[in-house]
Amino acid sequence: MPPAGVFQKGASGRGLHFGDGPARSGGMSLTFRLADTTLIARPSGALFWPEAGLLCVSDLHLGKSERMARRAGTLLPPYETRETLARLEAEVEATAARRVICLGDSFDDAASLDGLEEDDRLWLTRLIAGRDWIWIAGNHDAGPLDIAGTHRAEVPLGPLTFRHIAEAGAQGEVSGHYHPKARLAGKAWRCFLADRNRVILPAFGTYTGGLWCQDAAFAGLMQPGALAILAGGTVARAIPMPR
């Protein structure tokens, strides 16, 4: 095993260890190492930790359209929750995850859970059942949530720490919050940002936008040599993080 936090291409040398080819569904994933663990960036924008059977997604923003309507905004097509759940279910099944961590901002606000359509709520409950499901609090859904699963501010697991917003100086950190995106070939892609200390996940929710990698918010967080792993296509593709 290569030392923690160093990207490996093949067995030695700096660079990227390219992953184990097609996952069982959802196209070509990309494997990388962080804090001595092997992690898989999936084209869906989900992160999988095979050793722990753990699937991690961030910023689902369930109930976004309902919240906008409630706050006298526009009436968006009310289908994003089922679309997000359908993709999440597909990821859970494809990876056979025993444990799921939602990295915060899972709901667009504290009241969004109450606003879910009955069908969507049942669907979510079925997904949670029989799995170790952890909800990490985000800035949108900080309050206690009335839904099955464990509710935590942050979760240390072995060498990794899962939290909503990245903290300066952290090591082996997995976080979300920023919705990073990058440009390639004239198109915007949701992306993971990864360096030797941390990985920041893209937003998994359907109705979410993004923050360009070049934004000042990332400058202090990401080390020189950080990568952007583009999601949203059929292949998870790494490029040097645009700065």
Partner 1 sequence: MERLPPALSDWFAAKGWTLHPHQTEMLARAADPATLLIAPTGGGKTLAGFLPTLAELAKAPPKGLHTLYISPLKALAADIRRNLRTPIEGANLPIRVEDRTGDTTYTQRRRQRADPPHVLLTTPESLALLLSYEDAPRIFAGLQRVVLDEIHALAESKRGDQMTLLLARLQSLSPGLRRVGLSATVEDPPALARFLAPNTGILLADPGPAPDIQMLETEAPPPWAGGGGRYAIPAILEQVKQHRTTLIFHNTRAQAELFFHDLWLNNTEDLPIGIHHGSLSREQRERVEAAMVAGQLRAIVCTGSLDLGIDWGDVDLVIQVGAPKNVKRLVQRIGRANHRYNAPSKALLLPANRFEVVECKAALDAVREGTLDGEPRGPGPRDVLCQHILLTACAGPFTADALYAEVITAGPYAALTRAQFDATLDFVATGGYALRAYDRWQRLKQTGETWHLRDPRAAAVIRQNLGTIIDVETLKVRLKNRFGGTPLGEVEESFAATLTPGDTFLMGGQVVRYEGLREMTVEVTNQPGRDPKVAVFNGTKFATSTVLTQRILDIFQQPRWPDLPAHTAQWLALQREVSRLPDAETLLCESFPHDGRAHLVVYGFAGRNAQQTLGLLLTKAMEEAGLAPLGFVATDYATLIWGIDAVEDAAPLFDLHALQDGLETWLAGNAVMKRTFRASAIIAGLIERSHQGRRKSGRQATFSSDILYDTLRKYDPDHLLLQITREEAMRGLIDFSRIEDMLARVAGRIETRRLPRLSPLSAPLFLEPGRIPVQGMGRERLAEDAARKLMEAAGLA
Report the interface residues with partner 1, using CB under 8 A. 65-66, 69-70, 72-80, 82-83, 117, 178-179, 183, 186-188, 203, 206-211, 214-215, 217
* Residue among 6 and 69 whose Cβ is closer to partner 1: 69
> Minimum CB separation from partner 1 for residue 141, in Å?
15
SS3 at position 191: strand
SS3 at position 117: coil
Interacting residues of 217 by C-beta distance below 8 A, sequence separation 6+: 178, 211
* Residue among 34 and 222 whose Cβ is closer to partner 1: 222
> Minimum CB separation from partner 1 for residue 213, in Å?
11
Residue 52 CA from chain centroid, whole number: 16
> Minimum CB separation from partner 1 for residue 216, in Å?
9
* Residue among 30 and 182 whose Cβ is closer to partner 1: 182
> Minimum CB separation from partner 1 for residue 158, in Å?
30
Instruction: Find the distance separating the first CA and the last CA of the chain, reported in whole Å.
Output: 30
> Minimum CB separation from partner 1 for residue 49, in Å?
25
CB–CB of 29/217 below 8 Å? no
* Residue among 80 and 195 whose Cβ is closer to partner 1: 80
Interacting residues of 164 by C-beta distance below 8 A, sequence separation 6+: 58, 103, 104, 105, 136, 137, 138, 139, 154, 175, 176, 177
* Pairing outcome for strands 37-41 and 30-34: antiparallel
* Residue among 108 and 172 whose Cβ is closer to partner 1: 108
